[in-house]
Amino acid sequence: MEELKSTITERRRNTRNKMFRYIYDSEKPVSKQQIAGALGYSLPTVHQNIAELLAAGLIRPGEVQKSTGGRPAVGYTVDEKIRYSVGIAVSASQLRMIITDIKQNEIAFKRIDLESADGSDTGEQIAGELDKFLAENSIDSGRLLGVGVTFPGVIDQERDSIVLSPTLGMKDISLSAVRKPIPFPVFIENDSTSGGAAEWLGLTQKEREEDFVYLFLENGIGGAVFINGKPYLGSCGRSGEFGHMCIVPGGRQCNCGKKGCLEAYCSAFRFTRDLGITAEQFFEGVRAGSEDYAALLDEILDYLAIGINNLRMAFDCNVILGGFVSRLIEPYLPDLRKRVAARNTFGDCAEYLKPGKYPTKAGMMGVAWHFTEQFINEI
Ligand SMILES: [Zn+2]
């Protein structure tokens, strides 16, 4: 496999990159003629770049199916296995890991129960588990672009710190200390921001033209604001902390130390901490006819509707739900939409409220994409 030529003009690199992206975005192999037609390049230009991408092992030949019959033309497609990325989500009791290929397909997933995640040895724990995970799946570490890690907390890249994670009970944890034991490039991101990035990836090209707000429902509640396909992080990297919007002044105690936050009413801790059962068990109980559970669900949906309507009032765009609680409340989405619509000052439609495509793995998907995107940008 040859290295891609790097001593080329910016214009030539641009052409090569556009061509790779076109092949990457095409679901089926595309012929040189199709590429030339779609991008407006001459056939010799396409030919030269295809030769270079083939020699570097970035694309491989495949058959273009012709509708008119006859001999199929040779086409080109991205070789999914050229590189891999890892996404890891750190939560209060677990590490969850996925390996993705260059096309963002999930290659492997693993969940590991943790004794505790207080931040002091998170890097070591990740390094040890990652080593096993890669070996179990025979991943050539030379092809691993990097390891993305999400935390449910405020991350300040400039100060190199996990400033605060009420869910994990962490404060001022150094990002470098987490990175150090991991023998690969490491990128650390807030879980909701990464989750939003995964949802953005799952949108069609047309849908990507619209901005959206992402509401992430897990043990904590977070979120992200995506404008022009990029997260709006805010002045202090704390945008989208929707879990700590006050919805009941002086209300229930929140993990953050304040009272009446959305998180205190609608997070999975309502089941796990308050009732001592899993979120799944709670919803099974609702289905089995428990009146107490039904009353609690009714309360949760009402408060969630307040939070969602507040987001709609503030941002006037689609609201995408994510996190494992969103998967469990999906059967109640029509009900939730009704409650949300009833609160809307300007209209009675709540179709803007949408279920996410990756309710349980969005954070890992999004943070793994960080390295894949970087790789594609550099072709
Ligand atoms: Zn709070």
Q: Supply the pLDDT for residue 67.
A: 57
**Please, where in the chain does CATH 3.30.420.40 lie?**
82-196+362-377, 203-355
| Segment 306-354, tens digit of pLDDT | 999 999 999 999 999 999 999 999 999 999 999 999 999 998 789 999 9
Give the distance (Å) from ligand 1 centre to CA of residue 48: 57
Rounded-to-integer distance, Cα 36 and Cα 25, Å: 15
Pair type for strands 170-174 and 73-78: unpaired
pLDDT tens per residue across span 127-136: 999 999 999 9
Predicted confidence at residue 73, as pLDDT, reads 77
CATH architecture of 203-355: 2-Layer Sandwich (3.30)
CATH no., domain 10-78: 1.10.10.10
Q: Which CATH architecture has domain 82-196+362-377?
A: 2-Layer Sandwich (3.30)
Rounded to whole angstroms, how far apart are CA atoms 184 and 144?
Answer: 8
Residue 208 vs residues 36, 266, 301, 364, 373: alpha-carbon distances, Å: 25, 28, 28, 20, 16
Dihedral (CA of 230, 235, 240, 241) sign: positive
pLDDT score recorded for residue 172: 85
Taking the centre of ligand 1 as the mean of its atom positions, its distance from the CA of residue 221, in whole angstroms, is: 9
Element (H, E) at 126: helix 122-136
Let me know how long the chain is.
379
341 CA to middle of ligand 1, Å? 25
Whole-angstrom Cα distance, residue 164 to residue 358? 25
Tell me the whole-structure pTM to 2 decimals.
Answer: 0.86
Question: How many C-beta neighbours within 10 Å does residue 219 have?
Answer: 23
Report how far ligand 1's centroid is from the alpha carbon of 39 (Å): 50
Q: How far is the CA of 92 from the centre of ligand 1 (A)?
A: 17
Say what the pLDDT of residue 118 is: 64
Would you state the pLDDT for residue 236?
Answer: 82
Ion ligand 1 neighbours, Cβ < 5 Å: 244, 254, 256, 258, 261
Instruction: Give the residue from 145, 149, 144, 97 showing the smallest Cα distance to 122.
Output: 149
Interatomic CA distance for residues 156 and 162, integer angstroms: 6
Tokens of 178: 């987490």
Residues of the chain with pLDDT under 70: 1-2, 65-72, 116-120
Whether 308 and 215 have beta carbons less than 8 Å apart is answered as: yes
pLDDT at 354: 95
Task: Please tell me the distance between residue 263's alpha carbon and the centre of ligand 1 in angstroms.
Answer: 6
